[in-house]
Structure 1
Amino acid sequence: MNPEYPPRNNDASRFGTEAFYASLGRAFVAMCAVIPLLFFIEAVDVWLGAGLDSAAGIIPRHIDGLDGVFFAPFLHAGFDHLYSNSVPLILLGTFVLAAGVRRFLWSTLLITLVSGLGVWFTGNPRTVVVGASGVIFGYLGMLLTRGLVERSWWNLAVVLLVGLLYGWQLVGVLPTDPRVSWQGHLFGLLGGVAAAIIFRRPAAPRP
């Protein structure tokens, strides 16, 4: 008898195991917990007139707007903007987080940097850019690319699901609406592709 190591039911990366479903469930709960925080920040900004968008958003090619690279994903241009970002952030973030907390944190940091700096270098200097859509497009790019580079049935299934649900949003990387930062979408997507390659899971050794 040759028992598997590690045991199947303890492998969170293997579809169908108890550990896999537990990891997916924890990731979903964690991403759901992020949304109330974003609504709280938006409520403070709107109801108290805190002016957080102009103070902590990305102002392209202005030094005093460079710190927005880190703060802008937590800010939104009104509740409608936040509502539109909430569902894709939960869904896509769940699939990214389920693959591991450390990979999720490093990937999110890389996506935030690539998206934010891309906006800062190429955006309109007369605008203030806020919102989590750059991170969302990063998660989209990461999931689509991860299915190819890791070559697992589960990741390929996620690619299919994400493509069906959000593939049409890839048009957002084009300058179709002057009110939307297509640069944040484009560079976020590229950051996600890079994260999927840099932080890919090592191939499992063959028995």
Structure 2
Amino acid sequence: MAYMGTSGGDPNRFGTEAFYASLGRAFVAMCAVVPVLFVIEAFDVWLSAGFDLAAGIIPRRIDGLDGVFFAPFLHHGFDHLYSNSVPLILLGTFVLAAGVRRFLYSTLVIILVSGLGVWFAGAPNTVVVGASGVVFGYLGLVLMRGIVERTWWNLGVVLLVGLLYGWQLVGILPTDALISWQGHLFGFVGGVLAAILFRRRRDYDPYDPDPLTMP
């Protein structure tokens, strides 16, 4: 029986035409997401809207709990956003290329684990915003996915990110009072958890563009 589009090969196998096509679409999508973050930051800065205080995570305060969902879309100025943009596009591309559903479910888990971790363990009387928890979550996800799914190209991506941004990986440790290391650490943990929860099923159909294992 012939399958439509089989000539491209397995979209989850490195080196196939389908793999590069999926990667290209994911890259374009992530490049479209980041400008949205810049628009939000522009409104916040130019209109003095106070989004950070209104929708950031305020540890152990009920009125700061909604920031778990909103904080990843906010930043402390454009410099903060610039520092997150490139790794977000790079890692997000590889996470999204593995399937839209897996990307959405994994991102939700990372946001919840990272945000709640900050809310419970963050420094009191602080407001935490930024997508860096998601960035570290994607890093943990790609690393663990390479292990549980035995896809060496995922581990190669982690090595590449380590070479490019290794100096930033210390953000997972409490080295700077101005950096929410809790968000980075719990984001990484959330990514590892998501990779296990939403791993590719062993008997997946190579022509299913979005293989997913649910517990």
* Alignment TM class, shorter chain as reference: over 0.9
Kindly indicate whether residue 96 of structure 2 is the aligned counterpart of residue 97 of structure 1.
Answer: yes
2-structure distance, mates of 1:188, 1:94: 17
1-structure distance, mates of 2:130, 2:31: 17
Q: Give the conservation status (yes or no) of the 8 Å contact 2:45–2:77.
A: yes
1-structure distance, mates of 2:166, 2:198: 23
Relative to 1, partners in 2 of residues 1:117 and 1:40: Cα closer, same or farther, differing over 3 Å?
same
User: Residue 60 of structure 2 aligns to a residue in which SS?
Assistant: coil
Shift of 1:144: 1.1
2-structure distance, mates of 1:47, 1:93: 28
User: Residue 138 of structure 1 aligns to a residue in which SS?
Assistant: helix
- What residue in structure 1 maps to residue 39 of structure 2? 40
TM-score, normalised relative to structure 1: 0.92
- What residue in structure 1 maps to residue 184 of structure 2? 185
2-structure distance, mates of 1:136, 1:191: 11
Shift of 1:8: 6.1
Tell me the C-alpha RMSD between the 2 structures: 2.0
2-structure distance, mates of 1:54, 1:189: 25
Aligned positions of 1:42-81 closer than 5 A: 42-81=41-80
Moved more, 98-107 or 15-24: 15-24
Relative to 1, partners in 2 of residues 1:159 and 1:84: Cα closer, same or farther, differing over 3 Å?
closer
Kindly indicate whether residue 18 of structure 2 is the aligned counterpart of residue 19 of structure 1.
Answer: yes
Gaps of 5+ in 1: none
Q: Deviations over 1:46-98 (max 9, x none)?
A: 00000000000000000000000000000000000001100000000001000
TM-score, normalised relative to structure 2: 0.89
2-structure distance, mates of 1:86, 1:30: 13
Shift of 1:16: 1.9
- What residue in structure 2 maps to residue 82 of structure 1? 81
2-structure distance, mates of 1:79, 1:119: 22
- What residue in structure 1 maps to residue 119 of structure 2? 120
Aligned positions of 1:107-186 closer than 5 A: 107-186=106-185
Q: Deviations over 1:102-149 (max 9, x none)?
A: 000000000000000000001112000000000000001111111111
Instruction: Flag as ranges the 4+ runs of structure 1 deviating above 6 A.
Output: none
User: Residue 177 of structure 1 aligns to a residue in which SS?
Assistant: coil
Shift of 1:3: 8.7
Shift of 1:161: 2.3
Q: Give the conservation status (yes or no) of the 8 Å contact 1:58–1:66.
A: yes
Gaps of 5+ in 2: 205-215
Relative to 1, partners in 2 of residues 1:128 and 1:50: Cα closer, same or farther, differing over 3 Å?
same
Aligned length: 204
* Amino-acid identity (%): 78
